[in-house]
């Protein structure tokens, strides 16, 4: 059943939907590209819930008609068909109700937010950097399977083809919802290619997943920023070292430092660095909130602590274990190639169950 508060919100939303339809048909709005795009984004955001509500109302009307047939029809076959239709329509109506209520849920608002992810090699030297590369490939292939957009921000490679640190953004449907619990320490147990004796080594990489904030989410005073430019180093094509294109931004009050040198343009590097800085600062606020609320939380999917060991990838046994929820799968090769849905669905189920206990 639709919540009373959501019914009121739907009424307001339908009015706004009608206003947007009218404005987007206005020639003056169409010629103003910035205004038109802003209104079109709002229209696209509202459209799904309006469509769900329309479908919900149609289902209710059809249920009334089917019940009328059931009450007045004497033919047993028609009564059976009406009864079956009522059951199908009631299930459809419930699905629409759940979708509408989810739309107005504060938590669901962040589900589609784009994220910035950081992967860093941890303990384990060269093997850790190779594992960081494996994690990047895993997330890249998972993003491709979900038709998400993945954009590189910065990359620092190791000499053996591994990764010291990589930062990238991911955008698309349910990105935050499905990736938010990837934050933490990922541990790998396997025989490194350089190990002649066949001894299993344990290495680690850390992953951070942060929603990418908009301007209104977080204000950063330009006076609090120190911006340094310097000559980029490493691969990057012809001319990469001939201009001061690399950018280092320091947020002085928190001593948060972000560097970016992947683009040849100093301006593009600065824009990317600011995106990462905003995400890190908003994430730091959330981490602080996690700690404040920890005493009030019961069972949940981890603590949100970046230092928490969340998962072990055991290559000799083809086993992956998520320590927070006790989930184990022996499909490690498939998972490392991006087949992550079973694991993520288990995390989402655990999150939903633990939310009901709070």
The pLDDT value recorded for residue 103 is 76
Q: What is the pTM of this model?
A: 0.60
- Residues spanned by the domain of 172: 117-214+301-357
Residue 232 and residue 194 in one domain: no
Residue 9 and residue 82 in one domain: yes
- What tokens were used for 274? 């600011």
Q: Is residue 70 part of a domain?
A: yes
Measured CA to CA, the distance from residue 9 to residue 356 in angstroms comes to 24
Residue 201 and residue 121 in one domain: yes
Residue 99 and residue 8 in one domain: yes
The pLDDT value recorded for residue 305 is 44
The pLDDT value recorded for residue 289 is 56
- What tokens were used for 1? 């059943």
Burial of 175 (0-12, 13-18, 19+ CB in 10 A): buried
Q: What are phi and psi of 206, to 5 degrees?
A: -110, 145
Cβ contact 336:134 at 8 Å: yes
Q: Is residue 15 part of a domain?
A: yes
Domain closes at, from 270, 291, 312: 291
Other C-beta atoms within 10 Å of 220: how many?
Answer: 16
Residue 253 and residue 176 in one domain: no
Residue 198 and residue 252 in one domain: no
Q: Is residue 110 part of a domain?
A: no
The pLDDT value recorded for residue 44 is 87
Q: Is residue 111 part of a domain?
A: no
The pLDDT value recorded for residue 296 is 38
DSSP notation for 27-94: HHHHH-HHHHHHHHHHHHHHHHHHHHHHHHHHHHHHHHHHHHHHHH---HHHHHHHHHHHHHHHHHHH
Cβ contact 201:314 at 8 Å: no
Residue 121 and residue 255 in one domain: no
Residue 327 and residue 188 in one domain: yes
Q: Which of 257, 250, 270 is nearest to 153 (CA)?
A: 270
Give how many domains the chain has, as a whole number: 3
**Is 145 strand, coil or helix?**
helix
Domain closes at, from 70, 105, 140: 105
- CATH number of the structural domain spanning residue 346: 3.30.70.1660
Tens digit of pLDDT per residue, the chain (358 long)?
Answer: 777 778 888 888 899 999 999 999 998 888 888 888 888 888 888 898 899 999 999 999 999 999 999 888 888 888 899 999 999 999 999 888 888 877 776 555 678 888 999 999 998 888 999 999 999 999 999 999 999 999 888 888 987 888 999 999 999 988 998 999 999 999 999 998 767 678 899 999 999 998 877 654 567 888 889 998 887 765 444 444 456 788 889 999 889 898 888 777 888 888 888 888 888 888 777 666 555 544 433 333 444 444 568 999 999 999 999 999 999 999 999 999 999 999 999 998 888 776 544 3
Measured CA to CA, the distance from residue 36 to residue 32 in angstroms comes to 6
Residue 39 and residue 87 in one domain: yes
Q: Is residue 296 part of a domain?
A: no
Residue 199 and residue 262 in one domain: no
Residue 16 and residue 100 in one domain: yes
Residue 197 and residue 312 in one domain: yes
Q: Is residue 200 part of a domain?
A: yes
- CATH number of the structural domain spanning residue 252: 3.30.160.20
């Amino acid at each position: 059943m639709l919540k009373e508060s959501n019914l009121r919100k739907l009424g307001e939303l339908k009015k706004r939907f009608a206003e947007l339809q009218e404005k987007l048909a206005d020639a003056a709005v169409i010629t103003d590209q910035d205004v038109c795009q802003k209104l079109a984004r709002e229209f696209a955001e509202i459209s799904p819930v309006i469509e769900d509500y329309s479908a919900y109302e149609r289902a209710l009307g059809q249920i009334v008609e089917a019940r009328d047939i059931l009450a007045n029809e004497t033919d047993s076959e028609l009564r059976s068909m009406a009864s079956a239709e009522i059951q199908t329509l009631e299930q459809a109506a419930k699905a629409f109700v759940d979708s509408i209520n989810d739309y107005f849920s504060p938590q669901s608002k962040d589900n589609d937010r784009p994220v910035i992810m950081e992967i860093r090699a941890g303990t384990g030297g060269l093997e850790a950097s190779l594992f960081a590369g494996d994690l990047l490939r895993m997330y890249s292939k998972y993003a491709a399977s979900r038709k998400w957009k993945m954009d590189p921000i910065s990359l620092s490679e190791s000499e053996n083809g591994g990764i010291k640190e990589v930062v990238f953004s991911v955008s698309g449907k349910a990105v935050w919802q499905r990736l938010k619990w990837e934050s933490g320490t990922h541990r790998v147990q396997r025989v490194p290619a350089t190990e002649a004796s066949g001894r299993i080594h344990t290495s680690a990489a850390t992953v951070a997943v942060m929603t990418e904030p908009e301007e209104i989410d977080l204000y950063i005073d330009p006076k609090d920023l120190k911006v340094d430019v310097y000559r980029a180093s490493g691969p990057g094509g012809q001319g990469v070292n001939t201009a001061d294109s690399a950018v280092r931004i320091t947020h002085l009050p928190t001593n948060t430092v972000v560097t970016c040198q992947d683009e040849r343009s100093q301006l593009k590097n600065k824009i990317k660095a600011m995106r990462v800085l905003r995400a890190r600062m908003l994430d730091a606020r959330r981490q602080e909130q996690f700690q404040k609320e920890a005493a009030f939380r019961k069972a949940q999917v981890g603590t949100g602590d970046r230092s928490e060991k969340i998962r072990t990838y055991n290559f000799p046994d083809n086993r992956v274990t998520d320590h927070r929820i006790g989930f184990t799968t022996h499909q490690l090769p498939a998972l490392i190639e991006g087949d992550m849905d079973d694991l993520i669905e288990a995390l989402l189920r655990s999150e939903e169950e633990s939310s009901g206990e709070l």
